Every structure is written in C-alpha cells, then in structure tokens.
Amino acid sequence: MGNPSTRAATVRQDDHVNDRDPASQASRLPVPAPDPAAMREQYRAEGLDESELAGHPMKQFERWFRQAAAEGAVFEPNAMVVSTADASGRTSSRTVLMKAYDERGFVFYTNYGSRKARDLAENPYVSLLFPWHAIARQVIVSGTARRTGRDETAAYFRTRPHGSQLGAWASEQSSVIRSRAQLDVVYEELHTRYPEGEQVPVPPHWGGFRVAPRTVEFWQGRENRLHDRLRYVAEPDGSWRVERLSP
Ligand SMILES: Cc1cc2nc3c(=O)[nH]c(=O)nc-3n(C[C@H](O)[C@H](O)[C@H](O)COP(=O)(O)O)c2cc1C
C-alpha cells in the first residue's frame, strides 16, 4: 500500500513532463483507465470485537484516530466527508477537515454562507464519514450540527496561517464567480490592507460547526467481505448502546 503523500507528489511530477524526452512523450500516450470492477483488495483479518470497545464512542474514536495518524498510516486522517440535506431533502457531500473532537462531538470550520451551512441552517441533521481506506477502516457518524460559539471560533481562527485567514475573507464560498482572476484580485487587496504581521479580524460569515453524534459506526474491513460493523447508539438517558450490523 503506497503512501498517499508520495502518490500525490508523483502526480505533480507527471504534470511537468519534459516534452523533448521521448520517454516522457511515451508516458503521455493514452493509458487505458483501470477497470474498477476488477479492482479487489483483500482486507485484514484482524477484527473488531465488542469486548475491546471503549464505553464512549468518542473515546473509541480517539483510539482509532491515533492509529490512523500513527506513522502516516492515513494521509490527512482528519479529512472527513460531510453530508447535509436541505429542507426539501436534497443531499450534498464534501470533504472538510475536522479540527477538534471531544465528548461533545466533532468540530469543523467553514463559511456560514456556503451551501453546507445554508443546508444546516434549514436542517441540522448531518452525516460525517472518515474514509480511512489505507487501513481498511471507516467511521460513520450521524448527528446534529450547531454553530460553535464566537470565542471558540476566534481562538481557532488565530491559529490559522495569515494567508488562510485572508482566504476566509476573500472567498464567498459556494457562490458562482466570474474568473480565478476575480478571486486573486480580492486576495491581493486584502493582503495590502492586512500585510503579514497585521492582525486579521475574524470574518463574521465564517466559523465552526460542532456535530453532536447520535450514532457512531466503527467499520473494520475483514476477509471475504465479512467485515465488522459496531455501532454506538445514544440512549435518552445519555448512555450508549452498541449493536452489531451485518456487513
Ligand atoms: C482535503 C480537503 C479539505 C477541505 N477542508 C475544508 C474545510 O475544513 N472547510 C471548508 O469549508 N471547506 C473545506 N474543503 C473544501 C470543501 O470540500 C468544499 O469545496 C467547500 O467547503 C464548499 O462546499 P459547499 O459548497 O458544499 O458548502 C476541503 C476540501 C478538501 C478536498
């Protein structure tokens, strides 16, 4: 299993093939795309048993997150797919970076005018998916999202690099724009107004969402597609029940 960061670097190199080098010209000949139906990985035999689960799903998440991050096992293990639905039930998904987690849930930051944020304003039900393919695991969360408080948002915003702080101001996320140039001009104007070292105010249209889980499924790939799926379900009294799902 290759390291995804190495793979990303390889793709970038291929972008800069040398036109005069016959070998690199050959590498540009159309290569048939692999047939996805023929792609088959045998997943690990090591299972996930009820007896080894933590009492709280966020504690179990912490264990798996540590393992996913260990020695670069998974590239960006905090990347998760967030799925939302609008008031009429139309769904949409996108990747975001989880920036914090604790017993209250999972936090990500975004633009409050974006499609996902507009969906969540109408319908707080949300699904998160951590696709840890490299270690044959996934974690799937369903729950409800609420905005983080302004203090928490500001504290996180201050840790972002200066350029990313300006980027949060420059982008009207999810809106249609004329061109790339339009975005670059806005960014340059902001950069002139707030040069490196100058404090950038927290954009009012930007902040966090905390997803409080209602169910958390831990999926472990196993041989012959007989995977382990253990799902925590929140009980009304605040405790958690665990159920096993058929793969
Ligand atoms: C690896 C990765 C990480 C991302 N992280 C974030 C993030 O933390 N916050 C965010 O708003 N968008 C992030 N994006 C961009 C989103 O996928 C998406 O394009 C953007 O939030 C607009 O989504 P929307 O129009 O559905 O609201 C990330 C994309 C990728 C591929």
CATH number of 42-160+198-244: 2.30.110.10
Give the C-alpha distances (Å, rounded to integers) separating 162 from 35, 111, 157, 168: 43, 17, 10, 10
Element (H, E) at 242: strand 240-244
**The whole model's pTM is what?**
0.87
Choose, from 225, 231, 241, 244, the residue flagged as catalytic: 225
Whether 90 is a known active-site residue: answer no
Q: Give per-residue pLDDT as tens, 198-225.
A: 999 999 999 999 999 999 999 999 999 9
Is 160 one of the annotated binding-site residues? yes
d(CA 26, CA 214): 53
d(CA 218, CA 228): 8
Provide the 10 A C-beta neighbour count for residue 31: 7
- Binding-site residues, ligand 1, Cβ < 6 A: 76, 79, 92, 94-97, 108-111, 114-116, 173-174
Question: Which one is predicted more confidently, 107 or 36?
Answer: 107
In ligand 1, the atom with minimum distance to the C-alpha of 116 is: 27
Is 59 one of the annotated binding-site residues? no
83, 90, 101, 110: residue to mutate for ligand 1 pocket, most atoms within 8 A of CB:
110
Q: Give per-residue pLDDT as tens, 57-92.
A: 999 999 999 999 998 999 999 999 999 999 999 999
Q: Give per-residue pLDDT as tens, 34-55.
A: 888 888 887 766 899 999 999 9
Is 231 one of the annotated binding-site residues? no
From ligand 1's centre to the CA of 7, what distance in Å? 21
